[in-house]
Amino acid sequence: MLTIKQITENTEAVLRGLEKKHFKNAKETIDQVIALNNKRRSTQNELDKNLAEVNSLSRTIGQLMKEGKKEEAETARARVAELKEGNKELDAAMTQAATDMQNVLYTIPNIPYDSVPEGVGAEDNVVEKMGGMETELPKDALPHWELAKKYDLIDFDLGVKITGAGFPVYKGKGAQLQRALINFFLDEARKSGYTEIMPPTVVNAASGYGTGQLPDKEGQMYHCEVDDLYLIPTAEVPVTNIYRDVILEEKQLPIMNCAYTQCFRREAGSYGKDVRGLNRLHEFSKVELVRIDKPEHSKQSHQEMLDHVEGLLQKLELPYRILRLCGGDMSFTAALCFDFEVYSEAQKRWLEVSSVSNFDTYQANRLKCRYRNAEKKTELCHTLNGSALALPRIVAALLENNQTPEGIRIPKALVPYCGFDMID
């Protein structure tokens, strides 16, 4: 969430940033925030003035009674009663203005960094780097959903029977491959200094608001209405919320956590060829990296996270590319985001497998996640997160890009985790 200081002291810069993100009605929304803040401040000033008068009169009443000036004391008492009644209304008005302002602030996305390219959608993203080796497949190469059926790895129809579309059932070596990837990703994260967390996969609304999924992505989240809890769309939500309403010491930073969880997304409005097989699921496995850092170090943290994800793709021997996302294609909460995509040779298309984002102070302000600096002053932290990695499209690319006439080859780095080097 943007701070009032950001908005009031750098209004034009904020408006330019919102324009880069193609946020509709930016001027009207910012004007509304400023008006509500002015109302809150003026009401607070009036309340403070009245409270000071109440305190002064209260001291005077005792002195007047001692001096035998009962009539003047009663007049003062009447004035105190009048002020207190008015203060109730002022306090209610101030609270309402603050609540209304907070609700409007929740609807405003983060401001992108200057390094974010201009653009409306995916076609305007900038390719920063390409890596990995091109794959040569047999002429009769199959897409992963057909390979999954051929080798009895994943049963999509059974998932439909049990739950519905987008909830596949992994079987045999397909299930083993999933587990192998999870353990591989967690081990690699641990080697890089991350502490593993095993969080809940349901969160309360406060957690959703803390990391920015609410109210922006409410329609994409599975909501357990009776308990008012949400199934998580990513481990970012529970892991980052560990630090909600927490003041950290500077020496604790950067905090580096990782977590494997199941993730749940309604993917409302998704249809067509892009949802075939594992391309777009409602439930999927993912290992997430989360960092909490001080502002001057977050750029380095972001780069270290990018290097980590790239290293995973290199070890999996997959062709990949790194995209710097344009303003119009970035998430609601991100100030800077890079996507990693792997190439699916059988489908002839790029598949997103990770987004690595720096949120600056946006989430920290919502979370009230702060640290105490060397001068003992509290400042907002920076938060960062990234997938390392999301499994479905990684599995899709591994199956498709490694198919041979003899079966599906397992990358060398995964063999110790799988216990086999070929799916046949």
Q: How far, CA to CA in Å, does 269 sit from each of 107, 156, 266, 272?
A: 21, 20, 9, 10
330: domain range? 120-421
pLDDT at 31: 97
Which CATH number is 160's domain given?
3.30.930.10
User: Considering the entire predicted model, what is its pTM?
Assistant: 0.92
pLDDT at 257: 98
Is residue 110 a part of any domain in this protein?
no
Which CATH number is 85's domain given?
1.10.287
Is residue 338 a part of any domain in this protein?
yes
pLDDT at 41: 95
In DSSP terms, which residues pair with 370 in a beta bridge? 247, 380
**Domain count for the chain:** 2
Last residue of a domain, one of 105, 128, 148: 105
Q: What is the mean pLDDT of each run of 10 residues along the chain (424 residues)?
A: 95 97 97 97 92 83 77 82 87 95 97 97 97 86 96 97 96 98 98 98 98 93 97 98 98 98 84 77 97 98 98 97 98 98 93 98 98 96 98 97 96 97 97
Work out the burial of residue 228: count CB atoms within 10 Å of its CB; fewer than 13 is exposed, 13-18 middle, 19 or more buried.
exposed
Last residue of a domain, one of 61, 82, 105: 105
pLDDT at 267: 81
Strand order through the sheet with 370-372: 247-249, 370-372, 378-380
Are residue 215 and residue 66 in the same domain, yes or no?
no
Is the sign of the CA dihedral 215, 219, 220, 222 positive or negative? positive
- Between CA 232 and CA 244 the distance in angstroms is 17
Are residue 201 and residue 321 in the same domain, yes or no?
yes
Is residue 112 a part of any domain in this protein?
no
- Between CA 333 and CA 355 the distance in angstroms is 12
- Between CA 227 and CA 208 the distance in angstroms is 14
Last residue of a domain, one of 57, 80, 105: 105
Are residue 349 and residue 201 in the same domain, yes or no?
yes
Are residue 406 and residue 262 in the same domain, yes or no?
yes
Give binding residues for ATP as ranges: 265-267, 352-355
Is residue 113 a part of any domain in this protein?
no
Residue type, 183: N
Is residue 114 a part of any domain in this protein?
no
pLDDT at 135: 81
- Between CA 424 and CA 137 the distance in angstroms is 16
Are residue 41 and residue 148 in the same domain, yes or no?
no
Are residue 84 and residue 194 in the same domain, yes or no?
no
Is residue 115 a part of any domain in this protein?
no
Are residue 176 and residue 303 in the same domain, yes or no?
yes
Give binding residues for L-serine as ranges: 234, 265, 288, 385
Give binding residues as ranges: 234, 265-267, 288, 352-355, 385
Are residue 323 and residue 264 in the same domain, yes or no?
yes
Is residue 292 a part of any domain in this protein?
yes
CA angle 359, 363, 367 (to 5 degrees): 155
Are residue 300 and residue 169 in the same domain, yes or no?
yes
Q: Can you give the C-alpha Rg of the chain in angstroms?
A: 27
Is residue 64 a part of any domain in this protein?
yes
Which H or E element spans position 407?
strand 407-409
Question: Which two three-digit tokens encode residue 376?
Answer: 């003992």
Q: How far, CA to CA in Å, does 221 sit from each of 157, 168, 218, 280, 336?
A: 24, 19, 5, 15, 23
pLDDT at 66: 75
CB 2 within 8 A of CB 365: yes
Are residue 225 and residue 326 in the same domain, yes or no?
yes
Cis (ω within 30 of 0) for the bond into 138?
A: no
Are residue 290 and residue 376 in the same domain, yes or no?
yes
Are residue 150 and residue 247 in the same domain, yes or no?
yes
pLDDT at 136: 83
Place of tokens 């990018």: 306
Place of tokens 């999924």: 213
